[in-house]
Amino acid sequence: MLRKAVAIWLGIASLAPAEPITLPAALRLADAQALDIQIAQQKVAAAGAVYDRARVLWVPNLQIGGDYTRHDGQIQDIRGTVFGTSRSATFAGLGPQLYLPLSEACFAPLAARQDHRARMAEQRAATQDTTLSVAESYFGVVQAGGEIVLAREVIVPAARELVRRTTALSEGLTPPLEVNRARAELARREAAVATLTEKAKTATAELARVIRLTPGVSVEPAEPPDLLVTLVEPDRTVDELIPIALTARPELAARQAVVQATLARLKQERLRPLTPSILLRGISTSNPGLGAGVFGGGINGDQRAFNARSDWDVQIVWELQNFGLGNRARVRERKAEYDAALLDVFRTQDRVAAEVVQAHAAVEAARQRMSLATGALAEARELVSRSMEGLSQTRRAGELIVLVVRPAEAVAALQTLSQAGTDYFQAAADFNRAQFRLYRAAGQPVECLPVQLDAVTITVK
């Protein structure tokens, strides 16, 4: 499809198409298969699990099992009398275990929820970054394809024709060195095709890596190489886009969620000495844990008199860590984390605003370059056409008959066309990349999209 489009646009014969891929299809593949997005999704899942666990801190742990104790030898009773005995006991049952600082029960779920929101925002940012990476790789393939077809189907045939005509004119009308010049230029153009082929394969490999296609797969964009994608309306100014970006960018949402999480943890540490902790234990066994079940025992190994038993211990305690010095240190630690998170928000805001300004400038520069490159390419094509015609035309200069266009001038015309083609496809690719960078810098806002997108439909994340 790409070669056919270039052929129609340049007025040359088309070549057999390779396996086509469209920009929307590449973006959908990246959304489904990109590793960065999958990693971000797993981080969201992990943060969600932490949040779920924080919401059930008030639910005690439940222990189920049995306990066997045996004593042989001296023992002391409650009055202080020491005597010898042998006894054993068996207990089977269950018991809850709970250690719940109320400050943690109140604030840990709030902090965990904000962490979860931050991971979700980071997932959206990873999706947007991946979209940009796919688009840049895709337009690299488009650019390389346009350049290689122009070189192979226009410039190299023209260089061969120049060698043929210069060889025919070498007897009397042009020095033999002009033939050497034309042949050298043909060799350069053919070498350029090899270089561009390598460039195209490299760009295709990078695209396949980003969207996780089979390594070595041959894909070719279905869109023409002069495709121009407009994602942000041309009349949008920087002053309009910056407030939109500060609202829509997921990176800012993630940083703001982190600020809220650190604030919740700061409040938790400030209130920790003032709020009690609740402890619930079963103490039917010598090692606290089991609180209700069946208990029995007797002298030596005799096990009898089994019946129900229940022993519980509930405590409400206040704790001053290291006589309050530890609490003060933890408050300072959380305060520093909160201040750092707040400063990170300001830094991210500055970065977002700078990215919008830079991307907007790139779009404007690429738009101007595209306009100039279009005119330059048309002029270069006309220059090559007239130069080839001039090689077969002569005029009289005194007693001499000279060529209207010398071979050296035709060689220069081919070089001009080659450079103009490179500049044209580079400008088109840079314009599209700049559009995607600006769209991503603004946070992919729907309100910036034109009513009708030029030749491509983009799915907004």
In a domain, 309, yes or no: no
In a domain, 201, yes or no: yes
Distance, in Å, from the CA atom of 273 to the CA atom of 275, rounded to the nearest integer, reads 6
Q: Which residues of the chain have pLDDT under 70?
A: 1-18, 170-173, 393-405, 447-461
Give bridge partners of residue 7 from the DSSP assignment: none
Give bridge partners of residue 76 from the DSSP assignment: 82
CA 164 → CA 12, 171, 179, distances in Å? 20, 13, 9
pLDDT at residue number 18:
59
Tokens of 243: 């407030």
Whole domain around residue 52: which residue ranges? 2-60+103-276+324-448
Q: What is the pLDDT of residues 5-36, one digit of tens each?
A: 444 344 433 333 457 888 888 888 887 778 88
β pairing state of 20-21 and 220-221: parallel
In a domain, 378, yes or no: yes
In a domain, 143, yes or no: yes
Q: Is the dihedral of CA 198, 202, 204, 205 positive or negative?
A: positive
pLDDT at residue number 171:
66
Distance, in Å, from the CA atom of 420 to the CA atom of 374, rounded to the nearest integer, reads 9
In a domain, 29, yes or no: yes
Q: What is the pLDDT of residues 113-151, one digit of tens each?
A: 999 999 999 999 999 999 999 999 999 999 998 999 899
In a domain, 75, yes or no: no
Distance, in Å, from the CA atom of 412 to the CA atom of 228, rounded to the nearest integer, reads 30
Domain count, the chain: 1
Q: What is the pLDDT of residues 219-258, one digit of tens each?
A: 788 888 888 888 888 888 999 999 999 999 999 999 999 9
Question: Residue 28 belongs to a domain with what CATH number?
Answer: 1.20.1600.10
Distance, in Å, from the CA atom of 305 to the CA atom of 65, rounded to the nearest integer, reads 19
Distance, in Å, from the CA atom of 437 to the CA atom of 358, rounded to the nearest integer, reads 9
β pairing state of 292-299 and 304-310: antiparallel
Q: 231 and 438 in contact (C-beta within 8 Å)?
A: yes
Q: 210 and 33 in contact (C-beta within 8 Å)?
A: no
Q: Per residue in 11-21, is it b (16+ CB within 10 Å) or e — as a string?
A: ebeeeeeeeeb
Q: What is the largest CA-CA distance in the chain?
A: 144
In a domain, 74, yes or no: no
The reported pTM is 0.82
Q: Per residue in 436-456, is it b (16+ CB within 10 Å) or e — as a string?
A: bbbbbbbbbbeebbeeeeeeb
In a domain, 411, yes or no: yes
SS (H, E, C) 46-101: HHHHHHHHHHCCCCCEEEEEEEEEEEEEEEECCCCCEEEEEEEEEEEEEEEEEEEE
